[in-house]
Chain A
Amino acid sequence: MITLLSILNRRVDLPLAGGLAVLCVLGLVVLFSASGESTEVLISQVIRIGIGIFVMLSIAQLPPSALLRIGPILYVSGILLLITVAFWGDGQGARRWIDLGYIRFQPSEILKLAVPIVTAAIVSNRSLPPSARGLLLCVLVIFLPVILIYFQPDLGTAILVALSGLIIIFLGGISWRIIRYSSFLLCCFAPVAWYFIRDYQKQRILTLFAPERDPLGAGYHIIQSKIAIGSGGTYGKGWLNGTQSHLEFLPERATDFIFAVYCEEFGFVGVLVLFMAYALVVIRSIVILYDAQDTFSRLLGGAIIFTFVSYVFVNIGMVVGLLPVVGVPLPLISYGGTSMVTILGSFGILMSIQTHKKFYANV
């Protein structure tokens, strides 16, 4: 039995897999309640998780060096798909889906993996900290897909893809001077950006500061979400007993606002449990990162952890009314996240870093 486990552990990182499993199970439990006890929803989520696990385990079997090779292919095909999507049809409305009959997927999801891989490859291939030319190349690699995604238009995903690449430059070591300058530029640019973002985006930012100004829309979400969370108290109202969700006061309760359902039914104690599960996954990932033997793995792993944690923070920050309402799902918990596969896939990369390191060590 112990040998079996150790063999398995050589192929799959068990602590990490355990943490992810806890999160997925918690997710299914709360989803069942949030969806109004719908088995259909539950089953389709289980299928998504299944596909995600398959992708994760497959990636875990590849050595990081294989990722280095696959990365550019993934990147180029992702870009080509983005362009295809952009030019398909008569161009009415936003186009970001590719329809393969049974499966519909967004090419931008591919780039969420490909951009950090390629950026990490570039940065790690040169001496650290990256030279000006290396930096320029990275910026190019990052912003080509970002611009394409931005014009789909999908500002949220564009920002996330940009961040996943930029964090690698940051981790690769970049002088504080450049960071200071870019932050300064960013601050100057913010008021200008106000004129460029769309009306609905402005609405959401304004709503954050005054939820009552849009009682039908995002403001309503926030108000109802806060009531759901607050009324949960220390121990919660109990599974399937949340009135806010079951009487339909809480919108988007199975997707973006599922955390509010969780808080209502499981209370502050439940929140601490969920946070611990997330912490387990993140801490284990960071440990893997510290053990990683090459720069590429370290940079890529860092980006993956950073992206994952940002998702969690942004979603929860939004649900508790600290951030504007943006369409970011809670990783591994929200229903219908097309990102389920991407997220599990990225943990596959972390597993690959971990297991193959051991393999080299044994040799």
Chain B
Amino acid sequence: MCVVFVLVALGLVVRLFYLQIQNNEHFSTRSLENRIKIEPLVPARGLIFSRNGKLIAGNSTSFSLVAIPEKIDDMKASLDRLGEKLGLDEAQLEQSLISYKGKSFEKHVLKANLTEKEAAIFAANRFQFPGVSVIPNSSRYYPLGEEMAHVLGYVGRIRSEELKDLDEANYRGTRLIGKTGIEGSLEPLLHGTSGYQRVEVNAEGRVIRVVERRASIPGENIQLTIDADLQSEAFKALSGKVGAIVAIDPNNGEILVAMSNPSFDPNLFVNGITQKQYDALIHSKDRGLFNRFLRGQYPPGSIIKPIVALGALEAGIKRHDVNVFCPGFFRLTEDGRPYRCWAKEGHGNVNMTASIVRSCDVYYYSLAKKFGIQGLHDSLTLFGLGEKTGVNLPGEKAGLVPSVDWKREKLGKSWYEGETLISGIGQGFMLATPMQLAYATSILASKGDAKTPHLFRASKHNFLDEINLPQSDSATVVLKNQNNWDLVREAMVQVVHGRSGTARSSKLANGIIFAGKTGTAQVSSVDRELELQPDEIPVHLRDHSLFVGYAPAENPAIAIAVVIENGGSGSRVAAPIAKRVVDKFFAGKSKILTSRNK
């Protein structure tokens, strides 16, 4: 080992001898001539527009006052004069310098976001302040703030850990990087390609001339599928509520609305959020940073009934015209515990259509018993439940469609038949995100021919490959009997338009036919066990209010899912919100109105 040490050490000495003694002249000359500096040219970040051409993420230039401590002879005097000239608080300037306990040869920000006036005054008096300069920073801003926060995400300062995974040459000089949302997932597209310039500098490091320049290539401007006006309407409709809305064009998978409320102001993150602001966001009761449409997992409740019914029709488990008698409860065995229907007094005789229209639970208990958990599982999985939709946003949750295998694997327990029953009404272990519910609804709306939901609509050069847009032409769900689609659709139309439909008070304006399904998902069992009145239950234990729907029923242009946490009844809370957004959607599109004549 010692021999190796000596040999390597000798090698290094030889190398140093070669550099320092043999080539000393060459390098000395280069050192004297070394007045050429290389500066990165940062590309402008791509702009983001909504589908109707509204700017939703833009760039702004701000100016910062920076100082290089080692180039300032008398810091105190310099700061004094700065404070005086620019009308800045000198103590604060000093503080900002102290807080950067860094290296004295680096630029330290004395004040970010100078006003135009401050920058102008400084420019006029620049000669008085050696070592101090004003530098432009490109910054990001989000004109719609909270409305787009969960879709766009935000950019923030690059952390040193993040730099390790980036192409260093391309990110030299870049200050901001997409952290979440579209800003995060389309970062490679939005960032652009860095350029550089070789500049000649004098002994103080000031640029004298540009020797060579390779311009940067700006990031792509991109257009999202989001309809800014509709998103805005969704934001208003959710005001004061905790929940999410997703609307998709079932013809092509374009996401028109993706709103999660409460939201947050993404502009706060761009130039560094203060600890206090961040704590406020993190500790707020309803967690504004939490993306409910993508990561919120809720029991879907009765929303799944049309899908379960369709699955049962296809599998031949149940004919649509066979009645089930609903006395208000269902028992697995003669003297077993009763599984209650939401309607205490029962629905009487119910066929498949009525079971959807009136949302009868007992019908689905009996159906689930015949179908079995595997049958339920397979039908629901076909509609994208229990797996990520693949929407181009980071952090999507997959929800959960339970099965016997799942329970054995994850909980180490065997499956009970009672759990099959409550799975039949979308309760128990089952969970779905609003994004999944909207996607499943768009599959229903398009008769199985839905595309993966996506947010990216277009850019100057279409980078479809890079962002993995699914381009499948085949239908997602193929039924043996095409009539089954119509049976289920008819029932969903009756939910809104029928006399006993659960969403009969949420008909659309202008007579557009709305197909829908309400859901009231239990969070806990207190209400049914104790038979409390809705307002006697603590807020966090109240039912989630859900609604899915699509319109116009014959030739759907929009599919929507609404989830309101602890909102109570689906027909009273979620359905009217969906109606409001869908009405707004059609308000400007009188052409595609297709009234039904019946």
Whether A and B are associated in the same complex: the answer reads yes
Chain A residues within 8 Å of B, Cβ to Cβ: 35-38, 40-41, 44, 92-96, 153, 171, 198-200, 203, 214-218, 220, 224, 226-234, 243-244, 247-249, 254, 263, 267-268, 271-272, 275, 279, 282, 286, 302, 306, 309, 313, 316-317, 320, 322
The reply to whether A267 and B159 contact each other, CB–CB distance below 8 Å, is no
A81 to B159, CA, bound (A): 22
The reply to whether B40 and A267 contact each other, CB–CB distance below 8 Å, is no
For the complex of A and B, the 5 pairs showing the least CB-CB separation, nearest first, are A230-B27, A231-B31, A94-B161, A36-B105, A93-B161
CB distance from A210 to the nearest CB of B (A): 13
CB distance from B98 to the nearest CB of A (A): 10
CB distance from A224 to the nearest CB of B (A): 8
A230 to B27, CA, bound (A): 5
The residue of chain B having its C-beta at the shortest distance from the C-beta of A39 within the complex is B104
Chain B residues within 8 Å of A, Cβ to Cβ: 1-2, 5, 8-9, 12-13, 15-17, 19-21, 23-24, 26-28, 30-32, 34, 37-38, 40, 69-70, 101, 103-105, 159, 161-162, 164-169, 172, 179, 194, 196, 203, 205
- Could you list 11 examples of A-B contacts with CB < 8 Å? A94-B164, A200-B166, A227-B30, A229-B27, A230-B28, A232-B20, A244-B34, A247-B205, A263-B20, A275-B12, A316-B12
Query: What 10 new A-B contacts, CB under 8 Å, besides A199-B167, A230-B31, A231-B28?
Result: A214-B168, A216-B169, A217-B168, A217-B169, A231-B24, A233-B28, A243-B32, A263-B16, A316-B12, A320-B19
Q: What residues of A have a CB within 8 angstroms of the CB of B40 in the complex? A: 216
Instruction: Return the contact of B162 from the options A93, A230, A316, A320 (Cβ within 8 A).
Output: A93
Q: What residues of B have a CB within 8 angstroms of the CB of A306 in the complex? A: 1
Q: What residues of A have a CB within 8 angstroms of the CB of B196 in the complex? A: 215-216
From known contacts A153-B164, A215-B38, infer whether A41 and B19 are also in contact, taking CB-CB under 8 Å.
no
A320 to B8, CA, bound (A): 13
Q: What residues of A have a CB within 8 angstroms of the CB of B1 in the complex? A: 171, 302, 306
Instruction: Return the contact of B38 from the options A171, A200, A216 (Cβ within 8 A).
Output: A216
Q: What residues of A have a CB within 8 angstroms of the CB of B166 in the complex? A: 200
A282 to B38, CA, bound (A): 40
The residue of chain B having its C-beta at the shortest distance from the C-beta of A204 within the complex is B168
A106 to B508, CA, bound (A): 60
CB distance from A120 to the nearest CB of B (A): 15
A272 to B203, CA, bound (A): 31
The reply to whether A320 and B16 contact each other, CB–CB distance below 8 Å, is yes
The reply to whether A279 and B161 contact each other, CB–CB distance below 8 Å, is no
The reply to whether A248 and B205 contact each other, CB–CB distance below 8 Å, is yes
Q: What residues of B have a CB within 8 angstroms of the CB of A316 in the complex? A: 12
Q: What residues of B have a CB within 8 angstroms of the CB of A271 in the complex? A: 13, 16, 20
Q: What residues of B have a CB within 8 angstroms of the CB of A232 in the complex? A: 20, 24
The reply to whether B19 and A203 contact each other, CB–CB distance below 8 Å, is no
The reply to whether B105 and A35 contact each other, CB–CB distance below 8 Å, is yes
The reply to whether A198 and B165 contact each other, CB–CB distance below 8 Å, is yes
A276 to B37, CA, bound (A): 35
Instruction: Return the contact of A95 from the options B5, B17, B27, B161 (Cβ within 8 A).
Output: B161
A184 to B166, CA, bound (A): 32
Q: What residues of A have a CB within 8 angstroms of the CB of B167 in the complex? A: 199-200, 203
Residue among A93, A263, A267, A275 having the largest count of chain B Cβ atoms under 10 Å: A93
CB distance from A103 to the nearest CB of B (A): 15
Q: What residues of A have a CB within 8 angstroms of the CB of B37 in the complex? A: 249
A199 to B104, CA, bound (A): 32
From known contacts A230-B19, A279-B9, infer whether A36 and B103 are also in contact, taking CB-CB under 8 Å.
yes
Q: What residues of B have a CB within 8 angstroms of the CB of A282 in the complex? A: 5
A313 to B166, CA, bound (A): 28
A27 to B178, CA, bound (A): 39
Q: What residues of A have a CB within 8 angstroms of the CB of B203 in the complex? A: 247
The reply to whether A234 and B21 contact each other, CB–CB distance below 8 Å, is yes
The residue of chain A having its C-beta at the shortest distance from the C-beta of B180 within the complex is A92
The residue of chain B having its C-beta at the shortest distance from the C-beta of A41 within the complex is B103
A203 to B165, CA, bound (A): 12
Q: What residues of A have a CB within 8 angstroms of the CB of B12 in the complex? A: 275, 313, 316-317, 320, 322
Q: What residues of A have a CB within 8 angstroms of the CB of B205 in the complex? A: 247-248
From known contacts A215-B38, A230-B27, infer whether A36 and B104 are also in contact, taking CB-CB under 8 Å.
yes
Q: What residues of B have a CB within 8 angstroms of the CB of A231 in the complex? A: 24, 27-28, 30-31
The residue of chain B having its C-beta at the shortest distance from the C-beta of A234 within the complex is B21
A215 to B41, CA, bound (A): 13
Q: What residues of B have a CB within 8 angstroms of the CB of A233 in the complex? A: 20-21, 24, 28
The residue of chain A having its C-beta at the shortest distance from the C-beta of B195 within the complex is A216
CB distance from A218 to the nearest CB of B (A): 7
Q: What residues of B have a CB within 8 angstroms of the CB of A267 in the complex? A: 20
The reply to whether B5 and A226 contact each other, CB–CB distance below 8 Å, is no
A263 to B38, CA, bound (A): 23
Q: What residues of B have a CB within 8 angstroms of the CB of A203 in the complex? A: 167-169
A35 to B70, CA, bound (A): 9
The residue of chain A having its C-beta at the shortest distance from the C-beta of B167 within the complex is A199
The reply to whether A220 and B162 contact each other, CB–CB distance below 8 Å, is no
